[in-house]
């Protein structure tokens, strides 16, 4: 018996559902996280995705983590404010950008990254996160920017 394209698609969907379920069941919620000083978890995902897309990877970091000249954007947190920085000249006017992070909670870091990129004339076409803490409604702060999420979780 020959497999049809729809059989293949159903098999792919079933395998994906199993993987998503395993990822979702592995997520732990840790009260009061993140703690000061913990950052850069999105770096695990950005470089391999950029490589797969044939795109460059541009880090956007907390203050004083990048060498050389940077531009910065202040943003609000649940517990105060912080700053995101990007190298001057790392992104050119008109470049299409996918912003990747490990997690979206209140949306502050993604909004700051979008503002930095748009200030230099980049076109942010989508954001992608592994985990969304849906109860915190960070997605609502992104305006019309599409958001791809692998796993949505409640707090």
Provide the annotated active-site residues.
41, 78
Cα distance between residue 96 and residue 109, in whole Å: 19
Phi, psi of 113 (to 5 degrees): -60, -45
- Angle (CA) 103 108 109, round 5°: 60
Give dist(CA 142, CA 155) in Å, integer.
20
Q: 77 by DSSP, 3-state: which?
A: strand
Compute the distance between CA of residue 105 and CA of residue 107 in angstroms, rounded to an integer: 6
DSSP state of 56: -
């Amino acid at each position: 018996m020959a497999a049809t394209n729809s059989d293949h698609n159903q098999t792919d969907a079933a395998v994906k559902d199993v993987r998503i379920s395993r990822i979702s069941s592995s997520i732990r919620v840790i009260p009061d996280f993140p703690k000061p000083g913990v950052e850069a978890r999105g770096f695990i995902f950005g470089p391999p995705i950029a490589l797969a897309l044939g795109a460059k990877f541009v880090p956007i970091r907390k203050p004083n983590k990048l060498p050389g000249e940077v531009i910065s954007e202040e943003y609000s947190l649940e517990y105060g404010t912080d700053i995101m920085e990007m190298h001057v000249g790392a992104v050119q006017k008109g470049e299409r950008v996918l912003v990747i992070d490990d997690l979206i909670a209140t949306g502050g870091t993604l909004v700051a990254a979008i503002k930095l990129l748009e200030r230099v004339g980049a076109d942010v076409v989508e954001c992608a996160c592994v985990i969304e803490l849906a109860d915190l409604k960070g997605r609502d702060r992104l305006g019309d920017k599409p958001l791809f999420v692998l796993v949505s979780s409640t707090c």
